[in-house]
Amino acid sequence: MTKSAATAALERRRDKLIPHIVRLSEHSWASIAEDVSNVSMIVGSDGIVLIDTGMIPDCAQRTLAKFRAVTSLPIKAIIYTHGHGDHTGGSPVFCAEGSDPQIWARDNFGAEAAPFERAGIMPLFKARGGRQGGFLLPPEKRICNGVAPVRYPKAKGAIFSGKTGAVPPNRFFSGDRMRLSIAGLELELYAAPGETEDALIVWFPAERVLFAGDDIYRSFPNVYPVRGVGKRDIPNWCASLDLMLSLDAEIVVPGHTDPFIGADAAREALTQYREALAYVQEKTVEGMNAGKTPDELVREVRLPEHLAGLELLEEVYGNVAWTVRNIFTSLVGWYDGNPLHLAESFGPTEEARRMAELAGGIEALLERGREALAGGDAAWAALIADHLLAIDDCNASYINLKADALDALAEDMITATGRNYALTVAQQMRAKLK
């Protein structure tokens, strides 16, 4: 099969996600792509401070070895930029040295997962998270995760729930800003809601290094992860980027992917990131006020030309169309403005039967689906398969049609999490036939 442009783009991204350590400034280093997220270190006069810890113990051990080649000073503090398990799960390895570090976070740490826990839908959250991450796929089906290399954690269902065995924070700050004096270092912590509400950034003013967590990385921002999320507030995210710009950093270290080195590069990246988010928000709201539905808006809202071709905003992790849908539902809920959708639905089975009648019968509908797939129209084939499965969800022909269509759709998906999700569902459907 000919390699798609999306596959080629993800392979190029994979080739850049090679583990390495970067000396950021005289006293700071970052371990890049060793783990699913970056781990950074600032060396003080009598100890070190870590920013995030990665997720996987084996990776954390390798990162620790790299840092120990630089210094043997004890770990005095760990700062969590937010509550996602891929930034906190490696903490037991660093704490095992026995220095009993302070572990800092904002006082709303874990805010994103808390509503799922209260609602009792963590099983759904974990299942969807596993599909998004591709953790159930064999290595040959995973290229990369867009902003992270392929890694296989042991706790497959717990990655985004904060239940990765992470050592919990023992220090919290509230408000907008806090000064932290530790290990002979003067640091500033700022509340910076963006990808998560509990996000913070770490500013090392003496050497003008900014640790930005997941408020920026080398991909269009992940405003809507397909595992599910309530709301990621774009105006707040833009305000956090404005804050970062005001600091005039010489170096910006993202939570994933390589740092931005040099004042010009750092400012350009932060500015372009903010512009992209604000543009999608503005154009979506503009379309909503014009009475357009989400289905219409995702076909119209595109990044402007001067941003669309930037590697910084390549949709390998976040996705513009998913962002548009999330803005719409976050602001006005599920109703798209079509009065038909206020009436009682036919239900999927009845609608499918009527579609089959229009096609000339179930066998004719199946044939149309197979023709669509053979002709390269995987999305139409998948939709036809959904109608067939609504009539009989145990029919092997219908299951195989849907699974084959999902595989074909995945080949053309540049957003790694969507690709992983489609491939995983296809794999799980075929498993039912065995």
Q: Which CATH number fits domain 5-275: 3.40.50.2000, 3.60.15.30, 1.10.3720.10, 3.40.50.300?
A: 3.60.15.30
Nearest 10 degrees: Cα torsion 341, 342, 348, 351: -70
* DSSP for 73-104, written as a single string: --EEEEE-SSS-HHHHTTHHHHHTTS---EEE
pLDDT confidence bin for 344, thresholds 50/70/90: confident
pLDDT confidence bin for 1, thresholds 50/70/90: low
Place of tokens 């066998």: 363
Computed over every residue of the chain, the mean pLDDT equals 95
**Start-end of CATH 1.25.40.880 domains in the chain:** 344-431
> pLDDT digits over 225-248, tens only?
999 988 899 999 999 999 999 999
> pLDDT digits over 74-114, tens only?
999 999 999 999 999 999 999 999 999 999 999 999 999 88
> pLDDT digits over 285-333, tens only?
999 999 999 999 999 999 999 999 999 999 999 999 999 999 999 999 9
* DSSP for 331-375, written as a single string: HH-S--S-GGGGSPP--HHHHHHHHHHHHTSHHHHHHHHHHHHHT
* Percent of the chain clearing pLDDT 90 (strictly above): 92
Q: What are phi and psi of 315, to 5 degrees?
A: -85, 50
**Start-end of CATH 3.60.15.30 domains in the chain:** 5-275
**What pLDDT sits at residue 164?**
59
> pLDDT digits over 168-217, tens only?
999 999 999 999 999 999 999 999 999 999 999 999 999 999 999 999 99
**What pLDDT sits at residue 401?**
98
> pLDDT digits over 370-422, tens only?
999 999 999 999 999 999 999 999 999 999 999 999 999 999 999 999 999 99
Superfamily of domain 344-431: Alkyl sulfatase, dimerisation domain (1.25.40.880)
Mean pLDDT of 151-155: 79
DSSP 141: G
**What pLDDT sits at residue 159?**
46
Question: Is there a contact between 301 and 234 (Cβ–Cβ < 8 Å)?
Answer: no
Examine the pLDDT at 158 and tell me if it is beyond 70.
no
**What pLDDT sits at residue 154?**
73
Examine the pLDDT at 132 and tell me if it is beyond 70.
yes
> pLDDT digits over 292-303, tens only?
999 999 999 999
